[in-house]
Every structure is written in structure tokens, then in C-alpha cells.
Structure 1
């Protein structure tokens, strides 16, 4: 497939994973990324079941396990810091601790996949696609900072707010579905709480979140979230405005959030977004195809975004290999193989939203301690288990 040129937009998880496999299969691969380098920060993410097989085939499973967050448990506290609930059996971010899943920081996983790709993959950092024009034989792509180029296949692996999806399929509003009014900002802070492989949850009147220690307790990742009755109108590229939204919404959150937010203003890795899904009737149009969150974001409420991206990358690369680079046949096979699995994963998030709403109504008149106990014991720790383990990778 040395004459098949593939452009991938996005250098988070799915894009570099797809680049890895396509490069091994003999495709000429270029990855374009708007950021000047791999983006730092992000949530602690989970790699589960068949996705573990994907990273094992990439040769990074052992290193990924070495870099896992290794959280020992979690607490729920009130506004004064009094502990209301404690467990060493599960966490809010990773679910049940005693299983084969790997919880790792998003940027650590991205670095592993990028480095595994090697020198055979061309990366164009600090650039973005401005137009995509398809004809019978080639796809012409123009860039913000580089000369136009022709490709045989273009892949949008550029996230919830995909630029490729917008250019080829239409406005984001056609495909995005907001779930339960949840918004969250994530950033790094020093471990001013002296947490020891631990995470703490606090919420007050719909605002709060999780603070957890990472990287052998040298840092904290702060999850600062809130609920909004109506979708917010904000510029997803205006980080300063997003930080102001978090500061305003969490002004009365209590516990240590006022101190944590002091580190938000200068955090180089701040990320903010809604809990939303992308649902589409088709993931491809002509020679353009979508991967991961760009085509089928499950939202953080599914707990499966990273695993879906990794599995999607493996399957898309495998079907392109099996079809000898014929994108029409490959895209059809990719969708046939994955759509049922993706929809079941997305349904996990919908069920979680319904359960959380019902739980909030049931707990309306309970004490803070009773609410904490119920939240801790009835978390969504295993809802995804049957869906995740039901899928096995094809061999290509």
C-alpha cells in the first residue's frame, strides 16, 4: 500500500494509534495536529478488555501498566473536609480497582503511542485543515500554514468538535447530543493536599468534582464540574473564557476547590467541555472517514471513549489493509464491524444519566452523609463490563 497516502487529523489517542497500524501495513501516513506539540493534560482514562489487546499489539502494554495511576481508593467529603465515605474497592474515575483495566493519564498514553509509531509517520504540528475537496481520484487538502496536498484518504480523529466533520459532513449542531447538563474542566496542580494515591470527591449544589493524586503523588489532577439546565454557549477554543466559567460556577463549591482553582489560571493543560455524544448515520463520506470522538463520542459518562478510539483505530486500519486500500469497501466493513459495539457503549452513558437523575430525586430529602454513602456504593462502576468484554478483535 505504499502508493496510498492517508492524512489523519488529530494527534490524541485514536489518530496516532491508527497511524501506527497503517504505517505497519505499508500506507504512507501523515498526521496533522493544530497544537504545536502533543497536547498535555486531560483526564485519567481507562483502557479495557479488547483495547488492552490493541495496545499489546503496539508493544506498549507493559509500559502503560508501569505508568498507571495506581489509585488505592477514594473518599467523599463535605464542605469542611469531613470524610463521609471511604472505600478501597473502587474509584469514581476508574471503577473497580481489582481488575485487569489500566487507568492512565491521557497525555501519558498519547506519548506512548506517538513514540511507538517511530520515524515512518509524518507529523505536521501547529497546523490545521482549512478545506477538503474530493474528486474521483484524489482528495485535495488545504492547510493554514502549509501548501495544499493531495491524499487518497482523509481521517478525522480530531475529537468532539471535529474540524474534519464540520468541513465534510456539516455543522456540529446536527450531530451533538448533550447529556444531563454536565460540564467539566480538568487541569494539573501541585499536590498541595498531600494525597497518597488517592482521590477525593466533593459536590455542593451541583458544583464540585474530584481531586486525585497522579504520577507517584507529585501532581494532582483536578476535575472541576457543574450542572447546567441548558447547554452553554461558549467558544471551545477560548480557554480564558472557559476558566472564568469554571471560577464562577464553582465559587461556592466548598472544601478545597477555592485553593485548587488558584492553580487553574496558569495551568498549561486546562481542558473544558460538556458531557456530550456524537451520533451519526454514517461515519464516512467519499474518501473521508471519522474515528473515535469525531464520529462516535460516547462522553465521559460512558467510561469507554479511549477504548472505543483504540479499537476503532485497529479495525479501520485492518479493514483498509484487508481491502488493499480500497476505501469504499474498507469504510463499509469498518462500520459494519463496529456500529453495534459503539451504540452499546454509547447507551451506557444514557443509562448513567437516567440513573443519576433518578438517584438525585430519591436522595432529595436525605442527609449529606446518607447521600455520600449511597453515591459511593451505587456508583456506575461495573455498568460497562458486559459490553466491554463482549467484543473480540478480528485478525487482519
Structure 2
């Protein structure tokens, strides 16, 4: 009989893991809290270790068809003048794609080999050496040989198996919000970046309908519901009061918009596995301000499936191998988190001036090469 695995989360990590585990002859069930695949999300990168994963899944053409057309970034001053122009992707085979489109392509690749169940979620777990008894919000309880939490930074599986989010997810002092612009960007080839100390506003051409992003520094907000969109809109509007460039007009689009809002956080656990429960993607390790979290999620999900297949009946050995291999990738990102935040959202006018000077030098060097 095929070993059974439950994956919580039908996003990037969950769908990638489902595809590869089904290929390795697991009986795969995926449960997703949302009623359908999500339609929003910021552009993310498929690069580095994710490129061969996508190629071997046969989704390269589908990803290229949905890729954004941006090939550079323009850093602007308060009047909208260009301070520096920087290229984006330079790695062969790398591309940028809206997160929702990436998740949809991976889901399409995985759905024939797995049982996807939307509009449901895990509510209780009882794990031991022989597997996991799972209680769902809607479906009847079931037993699985393995449970994978691939349900994001606010993972229910992680909370149930490892402890409360407040103990494991640490705010890095930065918030991110995105919403559709509602029209194509004026510049279809460049993402526009406008900074003031402690806050960034950007317009990304995406694919057709441009995307607005607000990235700003701010304290943790204990008790804030990550699904309370009205509260999110109020926080964004307060954070950008008095901002220049096109910001007032962009803020006027907040009412009624499909807003994504969350803190930039560091997920840190001493181990990713407890008995027959393990974590993948943002549920296990999450720090990214440059869109490469999705690449890490794809690479990690592939590593997990490959390690389990190689270990055969020794599930514990497979899980140890997965964590040992993938932590090498994620730990490097965690160590660079502070530097990334300083580049994206400098705290002071001095820091902003230094960042912009560096951007000008980099842009000139790229132009000469």
C-alpha cells in the first residue's frame, strides 16, 4: 500500500511537494483553507535552485507565458525624476512571475496526482511514530503516515505541533502591503521605486494590471488579525500620511481594493520535524524582501520529497536529511535579513542617500558592462 501524506496548504511549497511525492508513489492529500486558488500576490522570482525543479516538472513554458515583462527598476526622487536605473534578472533561466500565477501553474501540474480539498483546514493533530491522526474543520478525521505543514507564515500545522506563533515568528520591524493599481503601468518595462525615510512605495508593471506596493517600517502589533483588511487599510493610510510623489493618489485606491498585508517576519524553529509532522516553505523558514522565498519553497519541497523517497520506510531519516540539506539554503537568507531591510527601506535620510548613491554606481557599472 502506498504511504499516505497530508499537505496543509495548496500554495507554492504545498503544490510542489504534492507533485513530487505523487511521482514517488505516495498517496497525497492536500487541504487548503481558501475556497479556491488565490488571485492576488506580489511578483516573485523563480531562480537559483528552483530553476531545475521547474524544468523537471515540465512547467517552464507555462511559467514563461505568465512571467512579468519588467526587466529593470527605476529609483525615483520626490518629483518623479529617475535617480538610478538597475537591471532585474540576470541569471539564465530565471524569471519573475506574480505569486498567484506561480501557485496556479504548480497546482495545475500537481492536481492529477493528488487529492486537493479546498475550503477546509486542519484543526487538531495527534502524532506518534506510526503516523498522525488528523481532525479537520469540515471533513471526517483521517490517519496519515506523514503530515506536512506548507501553510505559510501563519501556519496552523506549526501552531498545533510546535507551539504558538508568538513564540516562533519574530517581527523584523517592516510591513508589506500590495494592491492592484487598476490600470496598466505607465512604464511597462520598469518597476518604479520611491523612498522616504522608513517607507517605500513602488509600482510594478506585473502583467497588464500593475501592482502597487507599500513597504514601511513600524512596530509589531500584537493581536492584529492578519485577515482584518479594514484595519490594514487604516494602518497603511496612517503610515503614509504626508508622503510625496504619487502616494496620495495611490492611497485613494485602498477602499474596496484587494489588499495583501503582513509583517516581514523571521520564522525560527530549532527543528522542523516532530514525530511524523514536518514543515515546508514559509511555515518552516521565512525571510525575504526580494521575492526569492518562492524559489526556496520550491527547492525545499523538492528536497523533502526526494529525501523521503530515498529513505524508503525510514521516514525519520528522510526528514533529517531534508532539514540538513535545506537549512543550508534558508539559514543564509536569515543571516542577510537586516541588510535586505536596510536596502529596501532605509531608516534615515542619510541611509537613503547612501543607498541611492550605491544604486547610481551600480547602474553605471551595469550600463558599461
Q: So what's the TM-score if we normalise by structure 1? A: 0.85
Aligned to 1:253: 243
**Partner Cα distance (1:267, 1:356) in 2:** 24
Partners of 2:340 and 2:186 in 1: how far apart?
A: 32
The gaps in structure 2 that reach 5 residues or longer are none
Structure 2 partner of 1:115: 108
Contact map agreement 1:73 1:86 (CA 8 A) in 2: no
Secondary structure of 1:363's counterpart equals helix
* CA distance in structure 1 between the partners assigned to 2:93 and 2:28 by the alignment: 32
Measure, in 2, the Cα distance between the counterparts of 1:119 and 1:294: 25
Can you list the C-alpha shifts for 1:291-315, whole angstroms capped at 9, x where unaligned?
01101112325x4311111111001
Q: Does structure 2 conserve the Cα–Cα contact (< 8 Å) formed by 1:12 and 1:110?
A: yes
What whole-Å deviation, never above 9, does each CA across 1:75-112 have from its counterpart, x for those lacking one?
Answer: 2233343x13242x42xxxx445754211111111111
Alignment check: 8 A CA contact 1:9 1:156 kept: yes
Aligned partners of 1:196 and 1:213 also within 8 Å = yes
Is residue 287–residue 337 contact of structure 2 (8 Å, CA) maintained in 1?
Answer: yes
Q: Which residue of 2 aligns with 1:388?
A: none
Structure 1 residue 293 and structure 2 residue 305: aligned? no
CA distance in 1, matches of 2:101, 2:360: 28
Does the Cα contact within 8 Å between 1:72 and 1:97 map onto a contact in 2? no
Q: Name the CA distance, whole Å, in 1 between partners of 2:305 and 2:91.
A: 32
Equivalent residue number for residue 312 of structure 1: 300
Once the 2 structures are TM-superposed, how far is the Cα of residue 247 of structure 1 from its aligned partner?
1.8
Structure 1 spans left out of the alignment, 5+ residues: 383-396
Q: Distance in 2 between matches of 1:195 and 1:162?
A: 37
TM-aligned CA deviation for residue 45 of structure 1: 0.5
Question: Counterpart of 1:363?
Answer: 350
Aligned length: 363
Query: 5 Å matches for 1:33-72?
Result: 33-72=32-71
Q: 2:148 aligned with 1:161, yes or no?
A: no
Counterpart Cα distance in 1 of 2:184 and 2:98: 19
Deviations 1:241-260 (A, max 9, x none): 11221122123222222222
The aligned counterpart of 2:330 is 342
What CA RMSD, in Å, does the superposition of the two structures yield over aligned residues?
A: 2.4
Q: Is the 8 A contact 1:11 1:158 kept in 2?
A: yes
Seen in structure 2, the aligned counterparts of structure 1 residues 313 and 371 have a Cα distance that, compared at 3 Å, is closer
**Mean CA deviation greater in 242-251 or 34-43:** 242-251
Secondary structure, counterpart of 1:182 in structure 2: strand
Residue in 1 that maps onto 2:220: 231
Q: Moved runs in structure 1, 4+ residues, more than 3 A?
A: 95-100, 353-357, 359-362, 370-379
Quickly say closer, same or farther: Cα 1:286–1:68, change in 2 above 3 A.
same
| 1:162-311 alignment runs, 5 A limit | 162-179=155-172, 181-191=173-183, 193-215=185-207, 218-228=208-218, 230-233=219-222, 234-268=224-258, 270-300=259-289, 303-311=291-299
CA distance in 2, matches of 1:354, 1:206: 9
